[in-house]
Amino acid sequence: MTVEQRYRYLYKPGVFIASLVPAALLAAGALGWFGADLGADPVAKLLHACGKTGLNFLLLTLLVTPVRRLTGWTHLVRLRRMLGLFAFFYLVAHFTVYLVLDRQLDYRNVLQDIVKRPYITIGFAALLMLVPLAVTSTNRMMRRLGRRWQRLHRLIYLIAILGVWHYWWQVKKDIRQPLLYAGMLAVLLGFRLVVRGLNRVRAARSTGAVTSTSAPATAPGKT
């Protein structure tokens, strides 16, 4: 099998099915399948589980680039779109649970919440920003937008930051979990900053623009 085929027939379907497992578990709990249940406060459980799974997928999406860099498995990028769309799926579910089950479609109350409660404001803003990313995730849109596509999709960094912040802000006291998410996000974003910094130094060196105090300009390895 070629790499192409392996992705098409094995990896992608595998990741797709695995990504649906959290949804299946929650559905089983909601419907009481196999004796599963969502506990005493099923709305809160659904709400939090969808939000957290969405956040997990956001981080997984951001993990693809560092893993590609470190392992050289450049073809992993073929999974990134699916992971991003699953993040969108779970976060839309998160908002839907809030709107329909928690607030019983009381739009006025929801609008008030969005305006008045900072943690809801930033969570909602992050969700809105995900919409254009999901809409422009098709091959056709990628081609059509060209360079602008990449610029637009850098929004994911801001979205992830707002997402973790939203999580942090609604926790009553025990911030260990949000702290963990903030730490993971910092590593993922920090990796990019470091790579960017290194690239700049290299680029500068290769053009000889940097007056280095270290060894005289030996040929920097090809990048």
Partner 1 sequence: MTVKQSAHIRPSQITPLDAYLNRRELLAGAVIAAALTATSSTTQAAEATPKPDPRFAFTRNARYSVKEASNSFQDITHYNNFYEFGTGKEDPAQNAHTLRPRPWSITVGGECEVRGTFGFDDLIKGLPLEERVYRFRCVEAWSMVIPWLGFQLSGLIQKLKPNSNAKYVQFVTLMDPKQMPGERDDVLRWPYVEALRMDEAMNPLALIAVGVYGQALPNQNGAPLRLVTPWKYGFKGVKSIIKINFLATQPSTTWAISAPSEYGFYANVNPHVDHPRWSQATERPIGKGLFAPRQQTLMFNGYENEVAYLYKGMDLRRNF
Residues that bind partner 1 (CB under 8 A): 30, 34-44, 46, 101-104, 113, 116-119, 169-170, 172-174
Nearer to partner 1, 36 or 203 (CB): 36
Using the CB atoms, write b or e for 184-223: b if 16+ within 10 Å: bbeebeebeeeeeeeeeeeeeeeeeeeeeeeeeeeeeeee
Nearer to partner 1, 113 or 204 (CB): 113
Nearer to partner 1, 139 or 174 (CB): 174
Q: How far is the CB of 127 from partner 1 (least distance, A)?
A: 18
Chain position carrying tokens 């637009």: 152
Q: How far is the CB of 177 from partner 1 (least distance, A)?
A: 9
Nearer to partner 1, 59 or 110 (CB): 110
Q: How far is the CB of 186 from partner 1 (least distance, A)?
A: 22
Q: How far is the CB of 60 from partner 1 (least distance, A)?
A: 24
Q: How far is the CB of 169 from partner 1 (least distance, A)?
A: 7
Nearer to partner 1, 88 or 98 (CB): 98
Using the CB atoms, write b or e for 15-51: b if 16+ within 10 Å: beeebeebbebbeebeeeeeeeebeeeeeebbbebbb
